Amino acid sequence: MTAGQTTAEGAGQPPALTIDALGKKCPIPIIMLAQQINDVPREAIVSVLADDPAAFTDIPAWCRLKSHHHVASHELPSGGWAIHVRRNY
């Protein structure tokens, strides 16, 4: 999935939580996501704002490993991405 692509499932659902990891190098954005994903209800969306290029690929990979769903990645106007993750459990 490239920046700006969205899966149909959950495309219009607003994030229940936004994690600002801008300026932080990997693995910090993933650590922040792992620490906070249980703060939202099941099926809710968490948006991770990140500008480290590793986060763009590492967060979707983390989702596959942890059985959460990478919903979409959107480019931010100021640089970086909003990476949307659905909590599955």
Catalytic residues: 26
The C-alpha atoms of residue 74 and residue 12 are separated, in whole angstroms, by 13
Angle at 39 between CA 34 and CA 44, to 5 degrees: 95
Q: Indicate the SS3 state at residue 85.
A: strand
Contact 15, 46 (CB under 8 A): yes
Please report where in the chains the tokens 């959950």 appear, as a residue. Answer: 10
